[in-house]
Amino acid sequence: MDKKILVIEDDQIASRLIEYALSKKGYRVLTAKNGLEGINKARNEKPDLLILDIMLPGMDGFEVCHRLRGEPQTAQLPIIMLSGKAQEIDKTTGMKVGADDYITKPASPRELIKRVEGMFARKAAAKSKIIAFIGTKERVGTTTTAVNVAVTLAQRGKRVIIADLSQEDSKISEQLGLKPELDIIGLLTNPVDAIEPKDLEASLVVHHTGVRVLALPKPQEGDKKPSPTDINLLFERLREVTDYIIVDLPSPPSASDKVALSKCDLVIIVTDFKTGALLELKSTSALLNKLGIRQERLGAVVIDRGATMPEVGFSNMKPLIELNAKVSLLGVIPYELKASLEVEPTNPVILSNPDSPMAWSIREVARNISN
């Protein structure tokens, strides 16, 4: 086995125990006693995975993780935090600064190896993409766009999960004519990192197109609400069993939404074609930048409700948006009254009216996402 693991741990006994356990499994182990030494080794040695203690002399593990995530050469380095801090706020902080997993001390060698092997397995399977849709305002067509794109990707032979994290009435399930699977709440009463992928898959509702829906129904009084840490780990688990995760997010995003956004490969801003739309697009883009979403991970879809795009011309709209909002335009979807009236409430336009300009535009958006 040629996997190289860097361990940043100031406790020499703990460091040696970790090194021994990993070496027995065939991993090459590097060690560092403090954050600065660890950062330099991460840059120069290019490890395949980092095990990072939080309580370090000088620079703590949170700061180390934050700095590594901010550098291109270490931004994608898998990081497992190992700490005696067991409070939920500590786990949440770890995930917010970019950790992929969090283990509370004392951790047995078996548990440590299980997490390391699980991390490598997920990274090997993590060719899946997470695509979030977020509107510049309410009722701009975000959910409808996300649902139709999900169905289109499924029609192209892709495994697709569409996630509704609102914990309110599921608009996604409603548009697909499905009932949310209540068992997901019972499943999440267990630690998310202990959930087997097969059990998670079994809790998803399957549409006849093959699209699977993850809906978190509004918790009843006394129910455990998924934390940002849970959401982070949930997405890591979902990556193992799909090609695309489509996420429908409200604007502005909540704390859990921010964690989901940090995992996204692409965030698509949905806006309309009305006065002030360009300003709204720029404002939403700026908000996402503040949340750590880089400009190159942003895209835009314009909903043309006034059917004026033929007059303006897509070729004119594209440079206008990309030069002013600095966001790549992935498509313009014309809103057709006739096609919309023919759509059944539980049947997306891509299925009910597949030859309409709306459907063709949605397919173009899906193609651009795939590319």
The tens-digit pLDDT sequence of the chain (371 residues) is 578 999 999 999 999 999 999 999 899 999 999 999 999 999 999 999 999 999 999 899 999 998 998 887 788 788 999 887 767 777 778 877 888 888 888 888 888 998 898 888 777 655 789 999 999 988 888 999 999 999 999 998 888 999 876 555 568 888 888 876 544 555 555 666 666 667 777 778 889 999 998 876 565 666 566 666 777 777 877 887 888 999 998 877 776 677 778 888 999 999 987 777 889 999 999 999 888 888 889 999 998 876 555 555 556 677 878 888 889 899 888 876 555 545 555 688 899 888 888 888 899 999 998 87
Bridge partner residues of 164 (DSSP): 215, 248
Half-sphere exposure of 250 (CA within 13 A, CB side): 13
Output the CATH code of domain 4-125.
3.40.50.2300
The rounded distance, in Å, linking the Cα atoms of 321 and 273 is 11
* DSSP for residue 10: S
> Residue 54 in contact with residue 14, Cβ under 8 Å?
no
The rounded distance, in Å, linking the Cα atoms of 336 and 136 is 21
Residue 335, token pair as written in the block: 């809103």
Give 76's contacts (C-beta < 8 A, 6+ positions apart).
Answer: none
The rounded distance, in Å, linking the Cα atoms of 240 and 286 is 31
**CATH 3.40.50.300 domain extents, the chain:** 129-370
**CATH 3.40.50.2300 domain extents, the chain:** 4-125
The rounded distance, in Å, linking the Cα atoms of 254 and 48 is 32
Bridge partner residues of 2 (DSSP): none
Sign of CA dihedral 274, 268, 324, 293: positive
CATH domain 129-370 topology: Rossmann fold (3.40.50)
